[in-house]
Structures are given as structure tokens and as C-alpha cells.
Structure 1
Amino acid sequence: MTITIALDAETINSLDLSAVKEKISNLPTDKAVTNYEQQLKFVINYKQEAEDPRELSEIAEIRLWFVCLDANYPWLPFLLDWRSGELARYTAMLVPHQFSRSEGIIYNPEALEIYVMHKIFVLSIWCQQRGISSTSRLKSFAKLFGYDIDDSFFESIKAV
């Protein structure tokens, strides 16, 4: 049951989150939200000049829209379709990075570490509020970015 949100230049340039709000406001606010876990995709229709070599995550207006989105829905990575690369693209909108033809996205290591830890805290709290078991989910999230976090860390943040 994929949730698709289409973005165009007008939506992005006006920082309009109404399409997201419309889709998310219909989701359950309790444990049943797990039925929508990793189901969200964005379709970005943003015209670029033919000679513009930038990736979407290098366009300031698009990044700003995603910064605004993340400020309003910091737990959104829970819904993003990780398998299709949606989480990596979302992260690229928020974390400084470079592109390598051979390695793909190379995130700034310090910025990525801060981002991952911030999201672990946000998602841990968000999941706790909904009665959702989070340790394995958060370990998988961190692992996608190359971090192996011990179970004891998750025990220590449950009291936060």
C-alpha cells in the first residue's frame, strides 16, 4: 500500500506541505501506523535546464523544502520506503554530501553521525509514544548508514 506524494516546482518553491499533511493526517496515530511503515515515496517533478548537471539534492530550493518537511515531521523516516532508496534521498536532502560515480552518495561523516543519532532519538520517542517496538527498527536504520549500535545504547535511551 504505497503512499506517493507528488512535488512540483510551485509546491517546493512555496514550501507547501499540504500534500504531505493530507496523506499523513489520514494515518493511524497509534501502533497501527506500522501498517504504513516504509511505504512512502516522493515523486519530484522539478524542471531543470538541460545544461544543469545538479542532482535534485543539490538544488537549494528542494533541500529547503525537505528541511521544512523534516522540521514538521521529524519522524518521517519511519514511513519512507527504504528499499527503493527513498531514505537515502531524504537524507541527502538534509545532510551535506558529495556524489561519486563509483561509490554513489558520500555523506559528510560528522554531519551524518549527528543526523543518525538525532533520528534515533526522535524515532525512539515517537515509537514509544505509539507502543511500537523500536530497537530492531532503529538498529536497521543506523546500519543503512554504516553504524552498528549496541543494544545497551537503546536500553539507556528508553528513559529519555
Structure 2
Amino acid sequence: MERIGYDSDTQTYYYRDDDGGTWKGAEGAEYSEMTRDAPSRTEDIEAAPRQADGYQQLATDLDRPMVPITYIPNPSAYRTLFPFFLIIAVILLLVWRLILSPGLSVPKSPCLQDMQAYWVQAGDSCWEIANRHGYTLEELRGWNSEVECESLMPGTTICLPVE
């Protein structure tokens, strides 16, 4: 005897004997008294059904299955996945906004078109910057009215004419 299948609807196991006869066990039991289900058959149980005249159709087109598949897609399955995809999209947009996009834009110069930006270094003063570039302190203050020379901090931007 060889076990050949299990029917989950009726909870019965099916067996085949050496002669090809099919036997089935009792409901809900794997090992039980078996009863003859069908006489010996030489045809395959899982094969396509035969027609009334005994002719079994062979597959001629390999791309088309023997048994037509009637699959109707279920749109509600995608509706249940929509919140998941929405969360993933929001996370990707946040990653793009916070990590990738700040590096893509070039910072705008705080100076006018004919001026160049100078970054104040530690120890610099307005008088030193003006003398180093060949300008007077009054000219430097005229170009940079918002800069307070008394409390000049490193990293402050000062605008100077292009040399």
C-alpha cells in the first residue's frame, strides 16, 4: 500500500494497492480500517478528465494549459496593501528631502553680482580685512551695512568687490 493523497474537505487519506485499486481510510484518522474506494484504474487521478468516448485530449499548445484558468484578480487585495505602500512612499520622500536634496542645491551667495564673499577667519577684524584687500574701513562698512565690526565672529560672510 502506498499513500497517494489526502482530501482536506472530508479529512480522509487515500491509498493505492499493488493492483492499482484505490482505498480510503476513516475520516480524521491517518491509520484506520480502509475501505475500497474505486476499482483498479490505469489512468492517472490528477490527469485531465476523459471524454465520454474515452478520448483524452493532449496538449498541443505548450503556452496554453490543458485546463483553462479562470483567474479573476481581486482588487481588494491591493486595497489592503495600499497603506503599506503609502508608508514606504512617505519614508522614501523623507529620505530624499532630508538626506539627498540638501546636497543637490548650491547655496546662494549673500553678496551682489559684482561682489565676492569672504569668510571671516579666527583673529580677523574689519580693519585687517579691508587693508589686506586694499580698501578703507569706511568702504568695507558701506558694502556690508549689516555686519557689526565690533563683534565680528569667525564664519561671518563679508562682501568685497571682485578683484
TM-score, L = length of structure 1: 0.18
Which one scores higher on RCO, CA 8 angstroms, separation ≥ 6? 1
Which of structures 1 and 2 has the bigger CA Rg? 2
Greater strand content: 2
TM-score, L = length of structure 2: 0.18
Greater helix content: 1
